[in-house]
Chain A
Amino acid sequence: MMRASARLPFLQPQDSVRRLALGVLLVVVGLMAGCATVANPDRRDPLESFNRGMFDFNTGVDRVVLKPVAKGYQAVVPQWARRGVGNFFNNLGDVWSAINNGLQARGQETGDSIGRVMVNTTLGLGGIIDVASDLGIDRHSTNFGSTLGRWGVYPGPYIVLPLLGPATLREVAALPVDQQGNMITHVPDEATRTGLTVLNVVDLRAQYLRAGEVVNGAALDRYTFTREAYLQRQRNADYDGNPPEEDMGP
């Protein structure tokens, strides 16, 4: 036993290096296969083959786990309570939005976000009641990925992340920072932290149950529809709601 555990630190790095190499190899093979098989390549989506695989995986997980749980949550928890939960997490999100709106040098949006947090945390009993919306203070949600975009960082290729869904390379790079900006990350007690994260995810999914139905009805191809919507929305945010018309080339 002693010897085995003594050898472990020696073994570990080698092991992880091997795994990493294997992972890189798999990704490269996947990408090469992707280049060969995609029917309508899109220059914003060079990893389409890989992305489609990941999209199907996420859809499967959603169908089997997340969506049923969200439906159950919607059925069991009354609407006023769900609204409270949503407001609570929105209020936490507004803190990070306030910081990023500040970093993006958006005066009005920064002021609104700070005002919202102050009003909702106090009068809104820790964020459970959205008093600020009743007062007409708008939400302007944003994150660090958008801050990078604001200062000219290109989005890069479209990437579908496992479980997290649509992103671009820029969002992937910003992810560690956004993770730190998520207040739940800083809850010291692990059980509470996990509980809050799960509740947040389930609540969000429940909010999008209807939207999901709309997409299912509207999309001829859900992958392309989702990609198009995601990339356009991001471009819109990068150009401050006023992007130049895209060239109509093939």
Chain B
Amino acid sequence: MGTRPKKTWVLKGLWLLIKASFSPVDNIWHKGTTMILTKRQLLATITLMAASVFTPLAQAEDEAPDALIKRLSVDVLDAIKADKAIRTGDIDRVIALVDTRIMPNVNFQRMTASAVGPAWRQATPEQQKRLQDEFKTLLVRTYAGALAEVSDQTISMKPFRASSDDKEVVVRTEVRGRGDPIQLDYRLEKTPGMGAGWKIYNLNVLGVWLVETYRSQFAQQINAKGLDGLINVLVDQNKANAKKA
């Protein structure tokens, strides 16, 4: 046997172990469909895990969308927990975190375009760029406040179903802390030849999709004052939010 299949099952075993240790709901040992490891495979996996502690596991060439979300969530949560400035709402640190860790995995143009709706196609490239910039600022400022709430939360992955030829998938997770678990889902698209593999284009907190929430608000502004009107409203809102912070 070549090394590739071996690597695959070692990775899969690793993934199952991570899942098992993080998610009490999704009890993999009782799922008929999931692979159960043999003792030898388990041993090999643990050995590999120990070895990989010192050499951070590089991104697999074709990282699965759920693996990407898992890695990203853990990364971002750890970064927040380690950085007091972020938790006290230091906006520059939050922006740095968003730009370095989150944005490379987001198709923000698609997000903005679908929030703007049909009018996007009539927008000039410059208008499109301004819309993206202002929308991003609005979201980052908004969620910077929410990051202050992060304390001992963990992310647990819900069962993921997709076939290998899917171009768009939904990855479901839950943030667990005190009280009701918080539903946090992502829509991802496959981006061939762009390196990152999968990119997020919408997210859902507690059942509320971000893009849809803004679509009707944007439409309202566009109908009343046109695209430039919408841009102005976003600029004003960002200024007001900056003053408050």
Contact = CB atoms under 8 A, between A and B. Distances in A.
Interface size class for chain A?
20 to 34
B145 A225 contact: no
A89 to B, nearest CB: 12
B16 interface: no
Interface in B139-177: 139, 141-142, 145-146, 149, 172, 176
Interface string B213-226: 11011111101100
A179 B13 CA distance: 50
In the A-B complex, the 5 residue pairs with the closest CB atoms: A236-B207, A218-B142, A233-B207, A139-B180, A220-B217
A225 B183 contact: no
A136 interface: yes
A179 B64 CA distance: 47
A54 interface: no
A228 interface: yes
Contacts of A228: 208, 212-213, 216-217
A210 B145 contact: yes
Given A136-B24, A220-B217, A228-B212, 9 more contacts: A40-B220, A138-B180, A138-B181, A210-B145, A220-B214, A220-B237, A225-B217, A232-B207, A236-B204
Contacts of A218: 138-139, 142
26 contacts: A39-B223, A136-B24, A138-B25, A138-B181, A139-B181, A210-B145, A214-B146, A217-B244, A220-B221, A220-B233, A220-B234, A220-B237, A221-B217, A224-B216, A224-B217, A224-B220, A225-B213, A225-B217, A228-B208, A228-B212, A229-B208, A232-B209, A235-B207, A236-B204, A236-B207, A236-B208
Given A90-B179, A139-B179, A241-B183, A214 B217 contact: no
Interface residues of B, number: 37
Nearest to B181: A138
A140 interface: yes
Contact of A39 (B183, B220, B241): B220
A217 B181 contact: no
Given A139-B180, A141-B180, A232 B208 contact: yes
Contacts of B4: none
B178 interface: yes
Nearest to A228: B213
A166 to B, nearest CB: 13
Given A40-B223, A224-B217, A232 B179 contact: no
